[in-house]
Amino acid sequence: MTGSAPTRRRGFRTQITELSDRWQRLLAQKTTTFYLILIPVTALTGFGLLMVLSASSVTSGDASVSSAFSVFLRQAIYAAFGLTLMGVVSFTPVKASFRLAYPVLIAAMILQVLPLTPLGVEINGNRNWIRVGPVQIQPAEFVKIALALFTARYMALMVRRPFTFKNMVGFLLFAGGTVGLVIAGQDLGTVMVLFLMLGTALVIGGLPKRWIFGLATAAAGIVAFFVLTSENRMTRVMAMLSGRGGDSGDPLGAHWQSDHGLYALASGGWLGVGLGASREKWSWLPEAHNDFIFAIIGEELGLLGAAAVIALFAVLGFGIYRLMVQSTSVFVQTASAAVFAWLIGQAAVNIAVVAGIAPVIGVPLPFVSYGGSSMLAALIAAGLLLSFARSEEGVADALRERRSRFWGSLSFLKRRS
C-alpha cells in the first residue's frame, strides 16, 4: 500500500509527458497549419447552417415566404458555392495572388461604386448593397479581400524602399479611396473592420511607428466624426454606456436589441434550452439569424455551445498565427495578418456586441451569420490562407500523400465489400 501512491503519481506524469510529446509531434507535422485553418472553417460553416436554420425557421414561415426553409436553403447554396471557391483558391499559387492584387482592388472599387447608383439598395440607413434581380450583394465584403491583397503586395514591394510620403502616396490614395467609397454608403461597422485590417497588416508589414501613429489617429478621427454627427450611432453608444433600458421604459428602443441578446444568453444557462427551442427568435430579437445569431447559440446550446464557437475561432486564429510565423514572405505575412484581423477581429466584435460590452455595430459573425456576400468573401479569404499554407515547403507533397492514403483506404474497403 505504501508504494501505490508514488506509482500512481509516476503513471500520471508519464501520461502527461506522452500527451505533451504527441502534441509536439502533431505541431511539427508539415500539414498542421493547413488543417488548423481548414477544420475550424468547415466546422463553423456547417454549424452556421444549422443555426441559421434554427434561428430563421420562425420568421421564414410567415405568409410572405413560401417555406420555413427558404433562408436556410439560400444560405446553403451560398455555402456550397463558397466552399467550392475556397477549394479552387486554395490551389492558387502565391505568385498569382501577388500579381492579381492590383486588378482585384480596381475591380472591388468599381463594384463598391455600384451601391451609389440606381442599382443600390438602402437597408437600415446604409446604402451598401446592390440588387440584380433576385440576387442581393454587399460589395464591401469583397473589398476586404482586395485590401488585404493590395496592402500585402504594397508592403512586400516596400521592403527595399524608404517609407517616405512620396513612396506611400500611391497606397494612401488607393486604400483611402476604397475605404472612402464604403464610408459613402454609411456602413461604419465595415469601415471599422477595414481600419482594423489595414492597421494590423501595416504593423506586420513593417510600417514605421510614426506612420502607424499618424494613420491610427486619422482613422480614430474619422470614426469619431461619423459617430458624433449621427444621432442613430450616438444613441447606440449611449445605450451601451447606460446599460439595460428595461422593456417597459424602452419599447423597441435603443436598448431593445442589446437587452434581448443578453436575455437569450442568460436563459441558455450551461447547456441551453435545446436546439430549435429558442424563445427570443420569435420576433423578440431583431436580426436573430444574422448579426445576433451568437445570442441564439447561447440560448439554445448554452455556455457550452457558445464556448465551442469561440474555441473554433481560437483554433483558426492560432492556425493563421502559425502561418504568419512560419512564412518568410512579407506578402504572405501581411495578407495573413489582414485576414486574421478581419475574421478573428470581426468575430470578437460581434460577440462583444451580443454580450453588451460594445455598441450595436452591425457586423456579422464570420461563417456563421446569415448573408451570402459575407459567407462567400470569408470562404474565399480562407482559401487564400490555405493556398499560403500549401505553398510552404513540403506541404503540397504531404497533402498529396495523405490524399493517396485516404483514397487507397477507400478502395481497400470497397474490395472487401
**Quick one: 164 exposed, middle or buried, by C-beta within 10 A (0-12, 13-18, 19+)?**
exposed
Residue percentage of the chain with pLDDT more than 90: 54
- CA 369 to CA 366: how far, in whole Å? 6
- CA 16 to CA 10: how far, in whole Å? 10
Asked if residue 395 belongs to a domain, the reply is: no
Asked if residue 401 belongs to a domain, the reply is: no
Q: How far is CA 368 from CA 89, 162, 210, 318, in A?
A: 21, 42, 38, 19
Report whether pLDDT(122) > 90.
Answer: no
**Phi, psi of 120, deg, nearest 5:** -70, 150
CA 339, 343, 349, 352 dihedral sign is: negative
Q: What is the pLDDT of residues 331-386, one digit of tens each?
A: 999 999 999 999 999 999 999 999 888 888 888 999 999 999 999 999 999 999 99
Asked if residue 91 belongs to a domain, the reply is: yes
Asked if residue 404 belongs to a domain, the reply is: no
Which of 34-38, 182-186, 237-241, 358-362 is the most confident on average?
A: 34-38
Q: Could you list the residue range(s) of the whole structural domain that residue 182 is in?
A: 32-55+67-245+255-390
Asked if residue 9 belongs to a domain, the reply is: no
Q: What is the pLDDT of residues 153-198, one digit of tens each?
A: 999 999 888 888 888 999 999 999 999 999 988 888 899 999 999 9
Give the count of domains, the chain.
Answer: 1
Residue type, 374: S
Asked if residue 319 belongs to a domain, the reply is: yes
Residue type, 188: L
Asked if residue 230 belongs to a domain, the reply is: yes
| 379, 384, 387, 392 alpha-carbon torsion, rounded to 10° | -130
Under 8 Å CB-to-CB from 67, ≥6 apart: which residues? 60, 61, 73
Report whether pLDDT(69) > 60.
Answer: yes
Asked if residue 416 belongs to a domain, the reply is: no
E runs forming strands in 25-107 = none
